[in-house]
Every structure is written in structure tokens, then in C-alpha cells.
Amino acid sequence: MVRARQEYGDIVRLRMPLVRAYLVAHPDDIKHVVQDNHDNYTKENIDYRLLRRGLGNGLLTSDGSYWTRQRRLIQPIFVRERIVQAGAIVTQEAQRLACQWERCGRDREPFDVAAEMTRVTLAIVARALFSVDITQYARLIGEALTTMNESMAQAGLSALFAFIPSRSNRRTRRASRTLDSVIWKIIAARRASADWPDDLLSLLLSARDQQSGKPLSDLQVRDEIATFLLAGHETTANALAWTWYLLGQNPDAEARLQAEVAAVLNGRPPQVEDVPRLKYAMMVIEESMRLYPPAWAFSRSNIEEDELAGYRIKRGSLLYISQYVTHRHPDFWPDPERFDPERFTPQRSAARPKYTYFPFGGGPRACIGSQFALTEAVIILCTIAQRWRLRLVPDHPVQMYPLITLRPRYGIQVIAERIGY
Ligand code: HEM
């Protein structure tokens, strides 16, 4: 996609079977699609149909009036006060993780920091949104979500024929059953409990349709839980994994981060209230998501014909918008491959046109968890940076694996060195 933009410009017709597909790379055109003319664009297309096979019809994949109702219902969970409450969970889980590395650190034993980030963000989302300790199911869920992520991203057209007992379809179905078994347990345990905490699960189970007065069906609840379990941890985990990779290659940035952490926190664990003062940490996360956007591309289809940059786009086309491509657009990002957190000073961020940077998408379908994710990422980054310096294991291959999310294919192997002895 990057090459297509370099060679052909900001709108490129992509050669794909059975669909009329385009890459849309200019920020103004992206703004038109996701924001200004969003009513003309839908998620009713092949990509979201594939996603629905794993996630059902949850907030990420649904569309139209059903999506509007669900978004309105769930939005209050993501207001600032709630994020502050969840911050305590983030701090605890990050501390717990940082302590668990003592033995590996002492023995200089390499480990996969990407897997560790996945573990901690899954634990956090399960506690923050569903008030459950997921530790006992973490491996099961992790494997199931990886399989689903791989098959949703890679299965191609054959996956639309889910009834064919192909190897990939059977694997996906098995993974989906595994995930479901955990989700049904979570729902059953809550229903059986007399004490319902104030969280997303309680909200979903007690919601009533305004017109009919009916509750959400079990399947609707299942789809939202699956959506939030996946969307709520995998992206943040990838953002952090790539951040450690970049810091490992950029000792100056790492040293500046360490200095900020020491000056702002003075040895105490970071809390939500500290996040606004951990400015450089936030700039590091933002720059890391520019180079390695965890959600690296998404698509929309147009309901009616439209015009983009002077080109006629026939109705029913498939438009690809890629953070990975636009975040490297040389008209807006000088020396785009260079890691430079200074690009995200408030002044420089404000001076850039909208949609040159959009790791969380935009318009009405923008990420509902963006503030949660940024707060969580800064707290985890600083909790670890306070105690550990992570050295990349030389010669370990680090490769991008663009599934639904942008993962490191073979993980990121590091050795942790203790700070402060
Ligand atoms: C660094 C972390 C994250 C990134 C980069 C990210 C990115 C995105 C993007 C690009 C979209 C828009 C997708 C589209 O237009 O098709 C999206 C939507 C969504 N995200 Fe995130 N996300 C992150 C964290 C989270 C977290 C922590 C949660 C939940 C706790 C979450 C839940 C969702 C949901 C439910 C949607 C669908 C929203 C809707 O359509 O109403 N995300 N995310």
C-alpha cells in the first residue's frame, strides 16, 4: 500500500478479485469519508462480514440504527470519571507485572515483551469492564483470539463460505467455541451473583430496549463481550510492544523517558492523575503508534456514488484507509521512517492538518476506548520504565504481522535490566 501511494498518488485503484477497491491516502479525503460525508459510508462490506464471523454484531462491526443504540448505551462507561476509577486497576496490574520480571531480570533470561503486554492488557480490560479475574483463562483466550485474528485477516474470500469444512474454517469455529465457553461462564456467574458491580457487563445485562422494554438477547451480550475483550486489549498491547522495540533502538529517547519518570514520580507508582505530567511518555506512545499503528487499516463502502479528489467513486466500492500509509505520507511527515517523539509537541500536533494522524480512526465511528487506551499505555510504560530498562535481544527477527491488528510476528525478545540498584 505504501508503494502504491508512492507510485500512483493519493487515490489508487487496487486490484482485488470481485470488488472495486481503492486506497484513499490523503488526509482531506479520509476526513470526507469518515467524518464529513460519513452517512454515505457503511461497514456493510466483505471485511466487516469476516470480522462478524468472530465478533458477531458488536459495537465494532454493527452498523445503522442498531449501532447508534448500542453506542449510546455503552458510551457512559467511557466517561472520564470511569477512566479514573479504572486507573487504579491499571496501576495494580502494571505493578504486578513489573514485579514478576525479577527472576528473569536477575538471570538475564530473555522473554517476549509483546506476550507480556498482551497478558497485562487482557487482565486489565477483563477487570475494568467485566470485574473478572481472567488469569485462569488467559492462555485459552489469547490462543483463541490469535486464531480468530489470523483467520479473519488471512482467510480471504473462502472464509465467506463459512459452511465449507476447510482447515481454516474448522480452526476458526473451534477458537470461537473456546472464546464463547469463557464468555458464557462470565455471564452465568454474574447472573447467579447477588452483587452486581457497576461495570459494562451489568450495563449490558440490565439494559432495556426503549420501545419494547426487552433486554438484550444473550447473543447480543456475547457479541459485545467478545468485541470488548478483543478490541480492548490487543491494540493497546501492540502499541506498547512496538514502543519497547523503538525505545530499545533509541537510547536517547529511552534516557529522556527515564528522566521524566524519575522527576515526575519520584519513585512512587504512576496514577491516572500523573498522566498529564508524563508528557514525554505520551509523545513516545503517539510516535510509536504513528510508525506502528495497532489498527493499521480499515475499510468502508459507499452507499451512493461519491467524488474524491476529482475522481468518481461508483456506489458499492470498497475504500481502504490506512493509518500505516498516511502516517508516513511525506507531504506531512518529514523523514517519515525516523522515530522522533518531538513530532508530538502540542504546537507541532496542532499545526498538522486533521487526519494526518488517526490511530483511533475518526468521525462517529472513532474508537470508544481511545482515552482509556492512552491512559493505560502511559501508566504501563512508566511503571515498567521506573524499574526496568529493556534491552533488545540481538539477532531476534522482529517482523510486522499485519492481521486485523499490527503484531510483531515472532514477538519482541528482550532482557530486562534493573534500574536503581
Ligand atoms: C491503542 C489502542 C487502540 C487503538 C489503536 C484502537 C483503534 C481503533 C480504531 C482505528 C477504531 C475504528 C475502527 C473502524 O473505523 O472501523 C476503533 C474502534 C473501536 N475500539 Fe479501539 N483502539 C484501541 C483501544 C481500544 C480500547 C482500550 C477499547 C475498549 C476498552 C476499544 C474499543 C473499540 C470499539 C468498541 C470500537 C468500535 C467503536 C464504534 O464503532 O462505535 N479500543 N479502535
Q: How many A from CA of 330 to the centre of ligand 1?
A: 26
Per-residue confidence (pLDDT) for residue 154, from 0 to 100: 66
The residues pairing with 41 across neighbouring beta strands, listed in sequence order, are 302
pLDDT in tens, 9-51: 999 999 988 899 999 999 999 999 999 999 999 999 988 988 8
Task: Among 67, 152, 235, 286, say which to mutate for ligand 1: greatest number of ligand atoms within 8 Å of CB.
Answer: 235
What pLDDT score was predicted for residue 328? 98
**What band does 163 get if pLDDT is binned at 50, 70 and 90?**
low
For 245-286, write each residue's pLDDT tens digit. Answer: 999 999 999 999 999 999 999 999 999 999 999 999 999 999
**pLDDT at position 54:** 83
Q: What whole-number distance in Å separates Cα of residue 333 and Cα of residue 357?
A: 10
pTM, entire model: 0.96
At 153, the pLDDT band (50, 70, 90 cuts) reads confident
pLDDT at 318 > cutoff 80:
yes
* Tens digits of residue pLDDT in 109-144: 999 999 999 999 999 999 999 999 988 888 888 888
Closest CA to ligand 1's atom 1: 236
User: Could you tell me which CATH class the domain 7-63+296-335 is placed in?
Assistant: alpha beta
Sequence ranges of the domains in the chain: 7-63+296-335
Residue 12 phi, psi dihedral angles, 5° rounding: -130, 130
**Whether pLDDT at 159 is above 70:** no
The answer to whether the beta carbons of residues 43 and 321 sit under 8 Å apart is: no
Query: Phi and psi dihedrals of 304, rounded to 5?
Result: -115, 160
* Cα–Cα distances in angstroms (integers) from residue 126 to residues 12, 147, 202, 204, in the given order: 40, 20, 13, 15
Q: In this predicted structure, what is the pLDDT of residue 126?
A: 95
Check whether 392 has a pLDDT greater than 80.
Answer: yes
User: Considering the chain, what percentage of its residues have pLDDT values greater than 90?
Assistant: 83
Residue whose entry in the numeric block shows the C-alpha cell 462517529: 364
In the predicted model, what is the mean pLDDT of residues 297-312?
96
The whole-number average pLDDT for the span 149-173 is: 70
Torsion angle, alpha carbons of 102, 103, 108, 113, to 10:
-70
Instruction: Say what the pLDDT of residue 160 is.
Output: 56
**pLDDT score for 168:** 76
Q: What percent of the chain has pLDDT over 70?
A: 97
Closest C-alpha among 296, 237, 262, 313 to residue 33 = 313
Q: Which of 37, 4, 1 minimizes the C-alpha distance to 302?
A: 37
Residue to mutate (ligand 1; options 70, 367, 378, 407; most atoms within 8 A of CB): 367
User: Which of the four pLDDT bands, split at 50, 70 and 90, describes residue 158?
Assistant: low
The C-alpha cell that represents 182 in the structure block: 469463557
**What confidence tens digit (pLDDT) does each residue in 181-237 have?**
999 999 999 999 999 999 999 999 999 987 888 999 999 999 999 999 999 999 999
- The closest residue, in CA terms, to atom 43 on ligand 1 is 367
**What rounded mean pLDDT belongs to the chain?**
93
Per-residue pLDDT, 402: 92
Question: What is the residue type of 94?
Answer: A
Residue 69 Cβ contacting ligand 1 at under 6 Å: no
